[in-house]
Structure formats: structure tokens, C-alpha cells
Amino acid sequence: MSARLEEQARSEGRALLARFAGRTPILALASADMGLLPQPWEPGPSRDRLAALLRWARSEPLTVAHMRHRAGPGRAAFCADALRPRIDELVCEYAEPSFYACEAFGRFLAAVAAPVLLVVGMGPVGCLAHTIREGARRGHIVIGIAGSWLAVPPRAGRNRDEAAPADATGGGAGNSALKGTWNVEL
């Protein structure tokens, strides 16, 4: 890993923490992509950048929460592996449908007192959009991994959640539905 990438990760990490005004956030991994992408996440610039950011996070006093799919591996599994043994709390484990996982994670976001730094992988657009909007309303911060609904319009027919129109979910419509968040596209 290049020194430039590591320094970029440290700089981004410090900027993220500064947004929390001195409050220590929970680092939460929320991805519903593992049921959709059973293959490992292929190496590339996005993965390298996220890996560097996670290595930085491992050195910080962050509580790590994880929403895990029983299938896998996928992007969230990659995040979890990069942070071991720092996974302090398993928020929920689920199989199908992914809506229930997002609902459970939404309850977690609503209940925690600490701010949340949320890593969102590619997943079902409709239910994740609601979860992120609720989190944003409470001042949480979102990191969108490349290929996530933050950047890619939903593809109708992929699964029932992704069939929703882009303007109804925020997916494919930029970040217009997520005002108040600070999104980092990885």
C-alpha cells in the first residue's frame, strides 16, 4: 500500500472525526450486498482506499458495530475482516429478505446515543435509503463504497428493493435525498 494512500486515509479519517465535534463515534458497517455478491470483493483502487481508511480506524478509539449477512463474503465482510478483532457488537445477523436487516439497523441508529460513522456497501436501494435518511436526521455520517446506491441508479428487477424509482429512494438521484449528511464516495 502506498504511503500516499495511507496519508490520504489518515487525512480523511481526521476530517471525519472532526465532524463529530469531539464525540467518539461508533463505526458501523451496514451492507446488504453479501446476498447479492457472493464472490469476494475484487482488488482495485476503491478497495485499497477503504482498506487504508479501515486500518486508520483500527487505531482509533471507535466502537465497531456490524450488520452481517449469513451468506458472503462481500464488501461488509471485507470491512469486518479488516477490522478484526475490533468488532465489538454484532447488531444483527440476517438471511433474507434484506429489508428486515435494514429495519433492525435503523432501530440501532435511532437508539444509540453516540454518533455513528456508517459504511454503506452496495445493497437494496429502497430500504437502505430510509435507514440512511433516518441516520442523517440524527446527525450520523455516511461513507458510500463505490458501486453503492449513492452512486449507481437502481436496476429494476435485480431484487424487489432495487426496483423502486430512483427519485423515490435517493438512489441514482445523487445525494439530494440525504441532505445533512457528509458523504465520502469510496
pLDDT in tens, the chain (186 residues): 588 888 887 887 777 777 777 777 777 665 544 333 334 456 666 667 667 777 777 777 776 666 655 554 455 555 556 655 555 555 555 555 455 556 666 676 677 777 777 665 544 444 555 666 666 666 666 655 444 433 333 333 333 333 333 333 333 333 333 333 333 433
Q: Name residues whose C-beta falls within 8 Å of residue 117's C-beta, 6 or more positions apart in sequence.
A: 16, 20, 25, 26, 27, 28, 62, 140, 141, 143
* Predicted local confidence at residue 77, as pLDDT: 58
Alpha carbon distance 16, 109 (integer Å): 18
* C-alpha distance across the termini of the chain, in Å: 16
pTM of the model: 0.53
* Predicted local confidence at residue 35, as pLDDT: 37
Structural domain for 69, as ranges: 3-185
Alpha carbon distance 100, 39 (integer Å): 23
Number of folded domains that form the chain: 1
Which residue matches cell numbers 440512511?
A: 132
Alpha carbon distance 149, 56 (integer Å): 25
Characterize 82-105 residue by residue with b for buried, 16 or more Cβ atoms within 10 angstroms of its Cβ, and e for exposed: bbeebbeeebbebeeebbebbeeb
Query: Beta strands 26-30 and 87-94: pairing type?
Result: unpaired
Q: What is the CATH number of the domain that holds 78?
A: 3.40.50
Q: In what order do the strands lie in the sheet with 116-120?
A: 87-94, 63-69, 26-30, 116-120, 141-144, 184-185
